[in-house]
Amino acid sequence: MRLEELLNTLPEAEVQGYKSLEIQGICNHSAEVRPGDLFVARKGTQKNGLDYALQAIEKGAVAVAASHFSPELEGVTQVVHPDIRLLEARLASQFYGRADQKLFLFGVTGTKGKTTSSYILRHLLEVCGRRTGLLGTIEAQTGQSTYPSKLTTADVVTNHRLLREMVDSHLDAAVLEVSSHALDQGRVQEIEFDIALFTNLHPDHLDYHNTMEEYAEAKSLLFRGLSPKRKQLGFPKGAAYSIDCPYGPKMVKGAKVPLLSYGKKEGADLRICEVDLSLSGVTWTLEYEGDRYRFQSGMIGEHNLMNLTGCIGAMLLGGWTLPEIQPAVETFGSVPGRLERVENSQGLSVFVDFAHSGVSLEQTMESLLPYCQGRLIVLFGSGGDRPVERRESMAKAAEAGADLIIVTSDNPRSEPPEKIVEEIVSFITDKEKLIVEVDRKKAIGKAIEVATEEDIVILAGRGHEKFQILNKETVELDDVIEAKRACEAKVACI
For residue 52, what is the domain's CATH number? Answer: 3.40.1390.10
Buried/exposed 152-167: b ≥16 CB within 10 Å, e otherwise: bbbbbbbbbbbbbbbb
Is the pLDDT score of 335 beyond 70? yes
Specify whether 231 is located in the same domain as 124.
Answer: yes
Domain that holds residue 211: 99-330
Is the pLDDT score of 472 beyond 90? no
Specify whether 176 is located in the same domain as 304.
Answer: yes
Residue 193: half-sphere exposure toward Cβ, Cα within 13 Å: 29
Domain finish residue from 330, 354, 374? 330
Give CA separation, 67 vs 80, 185, 357, in Å: 5, 16, 38
Specify whether 308 is located in the same domain as 345.
Answer: no
Domain finish residue from 283, 307, 330? 330
In eight-state DSSP terms, residue 422 is H
Mean pLDDT for the stretch of residues 142-170: 96
Which neighbouring-strand residues pair with 63?
38, 77
411 by Cβ neighbours in 10 Å (0-12 / 13-18 / 19+) ranks as: buried
Predicted pLDDT at 288: 98
The pLDDT tens digits of the residues spanning 415-461 come to 999 999 999 999 999 999 999 999 999 999 999 999 999 999 999 99
Residue 335 lies in a domain: no
Specify whether 362 is located in the same domain as 467.
Answer: yes
C-beta of residue 386 within 8 angstroms of C-beta of residue 394: no
Specify whether 75 is located in the same domain as 170.
Answer: no
Query: Which residues have CB under 8 Å from 419's CB, separation 6+?
Result: none
Specify whether 73 is located in the same domain as 119.
Answer: no
Domain finish residue from 330, 353, 385? 330
**How far is residue 242 CA from its own chain's centroid?**
18
Predicted pLDDT at 227: 87
Q: How many domains does one find in the chain?
A: 3
Specify whether 85 is located in the same domain as 194.
Answer: no
Specify whether 487 is located in the same domain as 413.
Answer: yes
Specify whether 84 is located in the same domain as 172.
Answer: no
Give CA–CA dist 380/423, Å, rounded: 13
Specify whether 179 is located in the same domain as 317.
Answer: yes
Give CA separation, 298 vs 1, 197, 276, in Å: 49, 22, 12
* CATH number, residue 200: 3.40.1190.10
Specify whether 459 is located in the same domain as 403.
Answer: yes
* Secondary structure element (H or E) that encloses residue 329, with its range: helix 322-330
Is the pLDDT score of 300 beyond 90? yes
Specify whether 292 is located in the same domain as 441.
Answer: no
What does pTM read for this prediction? 0.90
